[in-house]
Structure 1
Amino acid sequence: MNTFNHIVVAYDGQDESQAALRTGIDLSKQLASRLTVVHVYQEEHVMHTKGVQPVIPSAPANGYLTDNLQNYPVAPDPSHQLDQTHTQHDYFDNADQIVSRIKMKMDENQAIGEIEILSGSPSDAILNYAEEINADLIVMGSRDSGGLKKLLFGGVSDKVSHNSAISVLIAK
């Protein structure tokens, strides 16, 4: 029988990962295992609009466009562009909320563990981190994607379970 000395739980705040966190906490307590909860920040999804030109011309001072286009949306003023620093700051505010939720759930269940914020592709980050710390088990939720989307892109849990050398438990 496998011994699970170190359990990694993937958490993104969705209902499915809530189930994974509950399962990971329960297992770590029952097996007296070390627990690490990871949240992955996808850097490629950072929004920044530098260099993006508006598709629709900016509105004149009166707020209406000419040529009878007043019912169409007005593109944002390019002078009010976001920069990467601002967006990363927003992310870290969100990460604080995620960490708070994880800590609250761990406290409710009298569980002791670590929390790590990772960046990159979720499946790659989870796999690399679990291997790096010599984890014995990865616990994650399974999100039911639409048929075509799942077929074309696959889910994070699918990618992790298919590419992991470490045991993976999908909590539902």
Structure 2
Amino acid sequence: MYDDILFPTDGSDPSKEAFEYAVDLAATYGARLHVLYVADTNRDSVTTIGGEVVDALETEGERVVADVEERAREHGVEAVTEVLQGDPSTTILDYADDRGIDCIVMATRGRSGLKGLLLGSVTDRVVRQSSMPVLVVSNDE
């Protein structure tokens, strides 16, 4: 049923909880887990350190996906990792379409009411625009 599962992560605590669902689903179906971190180009994250241009979000993303890849291996799940720049929801959906992803597993912080409406949500946009199933793991803060 599932050969390729996408787990977009930002390294947050809600994402860490969603990982458990993603890795269990991948293990159950013998699926490959795609771990994606999107360095949000809507935010300024580039700086110069010692004369070298460094993108702090890309650096953080590399650390996050390496950690998730190691945790997936501990569960016996093959993981493919990638750090991309872009608008998070658009990049997630493009990645899923380009790679034939069967299911997306992602976290939401469970915001509701005016706060959720004003802040928007990457997860909400992915759910509304995805052509494949999306498993949303809620974390009420």
Q: Give me the TM-score of the superposition, normalised by structure 1.
A: 0.70
SS of the residue corresponding to residue 103 of structure 1 reads: helix
Residue 22 (str. 1) matches residue 20 (str. 2):
yes
Aligned length: 136
Looking at CA atoms only, which structure, 1 or 2, has the larger radius of gyration? 1
Q: 2:31 aligns with which of 24, 33, 37?
A: 33
Correspondence 1:1-172 to 2 at 5 A:
3-47=1-45, 82-83=47-48, 86-88=53-55, 90-145=56-111, 147-172=113-138
User: Residue by residue, what CA displacement relative to the aligned partner does 1:80-115 show, whole Å, maximum 9, x if unpaired?
Assistant: xx5596342x33332232123212311332221101
- Runs of 4+ residues over 2 Å off in structure 1: 82-87, 90-93, 144-149
Code of the residue aligned with 1:86 in structure 2: it is V
How far the C-alpha of 1:15 sits from its partner, in A, is 1.5
Alpha-carbon distance, 1:118 to partner: 1.7
Counterpart residue identity of residue 86, structure 2: G
Cα–Cα, structure 1 residues 107 and 4, in superposed 2: closer, same or farther, change >3 Å? Answer: closer
% identical equivalent positions: 29
How far apart, in 2, do the equivalents of 1:38 and 1:83 lie? 25
Query: Are residues 146 and 168 of structure 1, via their aligned partners in 2, closer, same or farther at CA, if it must alter by over 3 Å?
Result: closer
Q: TM (normalized to structure 2)?
A: 0.84
Structure 2: stretches of 5+ with no match in the other structure: none
AA aligned to 2:134 is V
Question: Do the aligned partners of 1:10 and 1:20 also contact (CA within 8 Å) in 2?
Answer: no
Q: Deviations over 1:13-56 (max 9, x none)?
A: 111111222111111111112221111110221246xxxxxxxx
* The 10-residue stretch of structure 1 (39-48 or 143-152) with the greater mean CA deviation from structure 2: 143-152
- Cα separation, partners in 2 of 1:92 and 1:144, compared to 1, 3 Å: same
Question: What is the rounded CA distance, in whole Å, between the counterparts of 1:105 and 1:44 in structure 2?
Answer: 29
Q: CA RMSD in A?
A: 2.1
Q: Which has the higher strand share?
A: 2
Assess if the C-alpha contact under 8 Å between 2:31 and 2:77 holds in 1. Answer: no
161-170 vs 96-105, greater mean Cα deviation: 96-105
